[in-house]
Chain A
Amino acid sequence: MSDYTNDRITLAHGGGGRLSRTLVEDVFLPVLGNDCLNRLNDSAVLNLPDKRIAFTTDSFVVDPLFFPGGDIGRLAVCGTVNDLAVMGAVPRYLSLGLIIEEGFELESLRSIIQSIKDAADEAGVTIVTGDTKVVARGQADGLYINTSGIGSIERDLPVHKGRVRSGDLLIVNAPLGQHGMAVITSREELGFKTTIKSDVAPLNGLIDEMLRVSENISAMRDATRGGLAGVLNEMADQGDVQIILDEIAIPVNEDVHIACDMLGFEAIHVANEGVLLAAVPPDEADRMISTMRLHPYGRHAAVIGEVGDKGRARVTMRTHIGTHRVIDVLSGEQLPRIC
């Protein structure tokens, strides 16, 4: 019994008693600890340099918890950091809420906490408050994480409004579909072995560089669930504009392309965790691309399309044989198919 308690999470770890305290002091604080978190107060008291802040929250559920290129911990930090950064905010503080299934291995938890720490360090954000709940076996699938984030808005930029303008060029920073395909092909039951790695990464450093080059980025989005097609359709709807993509300009790695073909997916519908889409004025696109390509997360930056006329919200794509077709949003999750 004592071994079990040493190696695995039990309901008592979430009970608020001695074991809860041990979990915090032995597992969380040694890795994540900082002046604010170490106080273990009921809430964090923060200093903010600016009056305007951006505030966001996101919950993370992924199967498997560890996938090629990352894990749920890195995902939970990067997802929230990116949501702040694409709005032009500087990500500063994160909260961390864990829901753990009874019996979860402590070693896995430690490893996830470490990658939370690493991702937070990379993004330059501090975890300032947290919470842990343990639920009985079968009531959750391993581990769920929620993070909320606060970012400071230091300058007034059009990107805060996120309205695209006719004539803007659309830029992505990295090949599409890496995250979604890394996760799905790592599921045992499909019997795949691939080189695909998730692109999960904090993009605030890259975005910082981009905002230094141009204050005229009119909109920026991270293309997570629903993929590129999802955010493009939202952009088109919000700005009431037509968006025209160029199929051959869209960066997709060969392994992702093949895996998509095998499962009947399209990469533009697959989730990303390190892909941003930016709309920039045409005369600034070249400079933007060359700046982005100097950053490790922007090496494959490319113009993939443009914003067309107002008044006809839809996304179309010029195919590789020169025809045009509509790009719709996905109805529900993409499922592997044989037909």
Chain B
Amino acid sequence: MTLKGEDAVYTAQRLAELINFEAANMPMAFMEVCGTHTMAIARNGIKSLLPECIRLISGPGCPVCVTSNEFLDKAIALAERSDVIICTFGDMIRVPGSRCSLEEQRGLGSDIRIVGSTLDALALADKNRDKDIVFLGIGFETTAPTVAAAIIEAYNKRLDNFSVLCAHKVMPQPMKALSESSLNIDGYILPGHVSAIIGEAPYSFLADDYNKACVISGFEPLDILESILRLVRQVRKGFFFIENQYVRVVKPQGNPTAQELLSQVFEPADAEWRGLGIIADSGLAIRDEYAQFDADKKYQISIAPPIEPPGCRCGEVLTGSITPDLCGLFGTSCTPMHPVGACMVSSEGSCAAHYRYTLRDA
């Protein structure tokens, strides 16, 4: 639904009017869980179209931001080995670990490559049999199957110089934690591409048990506005269910083939979320059958206890309990040029998006 020119302006205005009319000044708070939604909302100035009674809160769906320092420190420790080539999505490269970022480690001579896909890492492993390729597995249910597919391919092709340092996470569990928190969220803009994999059912507890409005949303600005309108309608009617605005991509049952890939390679595990702590069954661990591709097991990496930067309130930003500008470091010692916390690094991180797109002195 990409409208162009004045049509888009008109439709956005119309949707905004409807939202305003139907919300009828009732205060509501909606969380966009997904970082790409956070980006799209910021990039398109969507907050400026909404009535004052509607508050959008950014959630923990930026995989880089929720990744623990421990994971990064392990990645850097692996990068220090001369027999290892680290492959990572560009998102991770500037995130400060306890001591340095991957980018800084690369400056010290480590071989760290940015790839766009696990397929690129597999090709590199095939070409460099004398090196160990370690792929940094971050991301949610959308990205994890691409890593599962790569592990299966490495298994079939006997690429035993390929492994994955795994920090994959799943979405519904932290949303349960958020729904139980004191945040008073009325509804969720649910992540479109995660939903393309997992479908509608895994969220149903949000509506059934917690009375949260829920709309799976696409990423065009008009998709998001339409989703907000649907959330408002659910709240006004007091009738909560999993609504799918993104039907062009998300099927009710998700993608069963991708789900099978996930369960073939991964099993649920407890995972640490920056800001949220350890959440039961919120992570994906590589199954024992594929242990040879699990970098954690393969290298038995030992690191010093991770250090969190003092004053950094990423945790509270990630859970939506404060807006980025309320952190004492925001815009002063923590900027996109010199990020202290992970939320400032990833361009979809709440702090970076806030810094880049908000009319700061408006």
- In the complex they form, do A and B come into direct contact, defined as C-beta atoms under 8 angstroms apart? yes
Evaluate contact between B139 and A338: CB separation under 8 angstroms.
Answer: yes
Point out the residues of chain B lying under 8 angstroms from A338, CB to CB. 89-91, 116, 139, 143
Evaluate contact between A337 and B9: CB separation under 8 angstroms.
Answer: no
- CB contacts under 8 Å to A, within B120-140, are 120, 124, 139
- CB contacts under 8 Å to A, within B144-178, are none
Whether B84 sits at the interface, judged by CB under 8 Å, is no
Give the A-B contact count at a CB cut-off of 8 A: 105
Partner of B48, one of A190, A248, A324: A324
Partner of A326, one of B12, B35, B114, B357: B357
Whether B358 sits at the interface, judged by CB under 8 Å, is yes
Evaluate contact between B90 and A337: CB separation under 8 angstroms.
Answer: yes
Whether A287 sits at the interface, judged by CB under 8 Å, is no
Evaluate contact between B120 and A190: CB separation under 8 angstroms.
Answer: yes
Main secondary structure of the interface of A (DSSP, over half): loop
The interface on chain A, measured as residues whose beta carbon lies within 8 A of the other chain's beta carbons, has a size of 26
Provide the B96-113 mask, 1 if CB < 8 A to any CB of A, else 0: 000000000000000001
Whether A1 sits at the interface, judged by CB under 8 Å, is no
Min CB gap A286→B, angstroms? 21
Whether B361 sits at the interface, judged by CB under 8 Å, is yes
Point out the residues of chain B lying under 8 angstroms from A326, CB to CB. 356-360
Given contacts A191-B117, A338-B143, A339-B348, contact A331 B337 (CB under 8 A): yes
Interface segment, one of A15-23, A173-181, A289-297, A314-322: A314-322
Given contacts A321-B8, A323-B44, contact A336 B116 (CB under 8 A): yes
Evaluate contact between A263 and B45: CB separation under 8 angstroms.
Answer: no
Whether A131 sits at the interface, judged by CB under 8 Å, is no
Whole-angstrom CA separation of A70 from B111 in the bound complex:
29
Provide the A300-339 mask, 1 if CB < 8 A to any CB of B, else 0: 0000000000001010100111111110100110011111
Evaluate contact between A337 and B119: CB separation under 8 angstroms.
Answer: no
Whether A30 sits at the interface, judged by CB under 8 Å, is no
B36 nearest CB neighbor, chain A only:
A339
Min CB gap A288→B, angstroms? 24
Evaluate contact between B114 and A323: CB separation under 8 angstroms.
Answer: no
Min CB gap B42→A, angstroms? 7
Q: Identify 14 residue pairs between A and B in the complex whose beta-carbon atoms are under 8 Å apart, listed by A's number.
A: A189-B115, A248-B5, A264-B90, A324-B359, A326-B356, A326-B358, A337-B90, A337-B91, A337-B346, A338-B89, A338-B116, A339-B36, A339-B89, A339-B346
B contacts, CB < 8 Å to A: 4-5, 8-9, 11-13, 35-36, 42-46, 48-49, 62-64, 89-91, 93-94, 113-117, 119-120, 124, 139, 143, 221-222, 335-337, 346-348, 355-361
